[in-house]
Structure formats: structure tokens, C-alpha cells
Amino acid sequence: MSNSNFVDYVKLFCRSGNGGKGAMHLRREKFVPKGGPDGGDGGRGGDIILRGNAQYWTLIHLKYRKHIRAEDGEPGGGALRHGADGKDIYLDVPLGTVAKVSDSDVIIAEITSDGEEKILVKGGRGGLGNANFKSATNQTPRYSQPGEPGDENWYILELKILADVGLVGFPNAGKSTLLSVVSAAKPRIADYPFTTLEPNLGIVTVYDEKSFVMADIPGIIEGAHEGKGLGIRFLKHIERNSMLLFMIPCDSSDISGEYKILLKELREYNPELLDKERLLAITKSDLLDSELEKIIKKTLPKRVPHLFISSVTGKGIGELKEMLWKRLNG
């Protein structure tokens, strides 16, 4: 994974700008010897802002940018001059990015749409100049406010892939092969477990100008929720999928048992995952004849719709795409 371009976790030290100091100034001109207070306000400190960018799919551009600091606001001046605001810093992130303070699991910001902006760290307010404090009983205040300090902390940005359909299955179940057949994605494919080491996205076209996004998630093994195999690092990507397509090869010794193990791993990681709509695809079914299909059908889970597919021969692929499209669109 060290050479991978897919980065879904970064830790950043962020510091917003300090607010500028308000001015303490009394107006003095040639024919206005006692003009009164005219100190201007200080500028606000710069914010650090997360901005959704649909052109990004990874956080690699932030991997080596460990310290981020926004500009301080400028102090106010005489003649009611307002100090310049500190420049904001925008961090473009892929859709599906969540932000947390490093020592907390509470999500403080979440980016789900292109162009969406959320303030990660707010800059300090500028101080008020002495002109704000004049009154009938205090006509020449000789004080002003200091600027409010900015905030600083370590923050974690974490990417959870946004997709309509997530492929769920054990390693070598045919997930990458299916994605390569139904979309233009070119995931790595080989005949051994854990070929897929990072999520892959593909756009599946169903009808003219009608499509949905499919995500190939690295294979799950029993105990994944405890960190076994690729562990929970990639289970989190399933949280953002609208629908789950379970994939189990037809030559499995116990298809129903494998399905139950997959459900258990999702439940142990996050019980809410079981609320998503599910579909079961029996892969590599080009190895089956009609009699074997009938035998396998009797052993399949009763409450989940199923299809027999083959990415090699194309069997059931069109029907699968149409079924997924209809279920995604009600």
C-alpha cells in the first residue's frame, strides 16, 4: 500500500488566523483639535475551509501537507480604517470526506456534494476600535479590543467512498471482473486472493444517458471487523453505498454460509449496514448447467433476491444491470 495513489486517511495540524487588534486612535487635524475617537476595527483571522471537488477521488494531495495555517487579520487604523481580513485557506477534498478532531470520533464536518463548503477551523474575530465605545458619558475612550485568537488542533480527514452499488464478497469472488465488464474501469485482476488492495469505482451505463456508480471493495474475510485481512480499513467504504451487491462464486462449498458470514461481519462493524437493500449474485455460473442451478437455488437465502451471472460469458449481466437500476430508482 505504500506505493498506492489511493489515500483515504490523513492527519493534519490546522491553525486558523488570529483576529487583528482594534485601533485606539483619536482624530487630530489642523482645525479639529478634539475630533474624538476614530480607531477602526481589526480584520478577522482566516478560516480553514473544506470544499468538495468531484474531480478528486483520493486524499493523496494532502498526505505530505502536515501543517496548515491561515493568515492573521490586520490591525485597524485611524480614520476608521478597518484592518484587512486574513486570507482563508481552502482544502479541496473528494466527495465522501469526513473530518474529526484527532482525539474524538465525533464527525464535525462532512462533504457530500461538489462545491459544498464547510468551515473546519474558524478564524478569530477582529477586535473593535475605540470608535465603537464612545458614548455621551465617555466621549474619548482610550481603549480598544485585542483580536480574538484563532483555533488550532490536529484533525483527521477520512474518505468514505460514495457509490450507488457496493460489491461485497470474499477475496477472489469475481468483484473486480464484474466491474471491468459492466464499466470502463480497469481494476487489477488475478486468480489469487487480495488482488484488490484499494476501492475501485466504475460508471455503469444502463440506458442512454442513464447510469449509476459501482464500487469494488477489497475482499472481506471472517474477522474483518476485528482487523483481520484488510480489516476495517475498507469496511468503512461500504457505509456510503446506497445498495449492496453480495457476490459468492457458484463453486463455494456453502453459499448460504458464506452469505451469513458476510452479513455478520457487516453487522459487527456497523449494524446500520444491514438496513441497506441487498442483492445476491452467484458468480462464475458459466460452470453450471440448468440442473445444478436448480439444486443451488434451493440452498440460497430466501429473503434476498438472487441472480446467476457470469462475467466471462455475459450470462445474466444485462438483467443484473437493469435490476440494480430499477431498485436504485424505486
pLDDT confidence bin for 24, thresholds 50/70/90: very high
Following DSSP, what letter does each residue of 26-52 receive, concatenated?
A: B--BTTBTT--B-PPPPPPPPPEEEEE
At 84-105, the pLDDT tens digits run: 999 999 999 999 999 999 988 8
Report the pLDDT averaged over residues 196-215.
Answer: 78
Considering only CA atoms, which of 242, 233, 239, 230 is closest in space to residue 170? 230
Residue 193 has pLDDT above 90, yes or no: no
CATH of segment(s) 1-159 = 2.70.210.12
d(CA 324, CA 318): 10
At 157-168, the pLDDT tens digits run: 999 887 889 898
Residue 35 has pLDDT above 90, yes or no: no
Residue 79 CA to its chain's centroid (Å): 47
Domain edges within the chain: 1-159, 163-328
d(CA 184, CA 204): 8
The reported pLDDT for the residue numbered 196 is 45
Cβ neighbors of 321 (< 8 A, separation 6 or more) are: 182, 204, 206
Report the pLDDT averaged over residues 17-35.
Answer: 88
Longest dimension (CA), the chain: 107
Query: Which grid coordinates belong to 18?
Result: 488570529
d(CA 81, CA 129): 9
**CA neighbours closer than 13 Å in the CB half-sphere of residue 39:** 26
Residue 166: Cβ within 10 Å count: 25
At 63-82, the pLDDT tens digits run: 999 999 999 999 999 999 99
Helix (H) or strand (E) holding 177: helix 175-182
Q: Are 248 and 283 in contact (CB under 8 A)?
A: yes
At 287-327, the pLDDT tens digits run: 888 899 999 999 998 889 999 999 999 999 999 999 999 99
The reported pLDDT for the residue numbered 219 is 63
At 113-172, the pLDDT tens digits run: 999 999 999 999 999 999 999 999 998 999 999 999 999 999 999 998 878 898 988 887
Query: Which grid coordinates belong to 101?
Result: 478532531
pTM of structure: 0.73
Chain position carrying cell 475605540: 130
d(CA 198, CA 230): 10
CATH classification number, 163-328, choose in 3.40.50.2000, 3.40.50.150, 3.40.50.300, 3.40.50.1980:
3.40.50.300
d(CA 206, CA 317): 11
SS3 assignment, position 297: helix
d(CA 142, CA 136): 15
The reported pLDDT for the residue numbered 211 is 86
Residue 2 has pLDDT above 60, yes or no: no
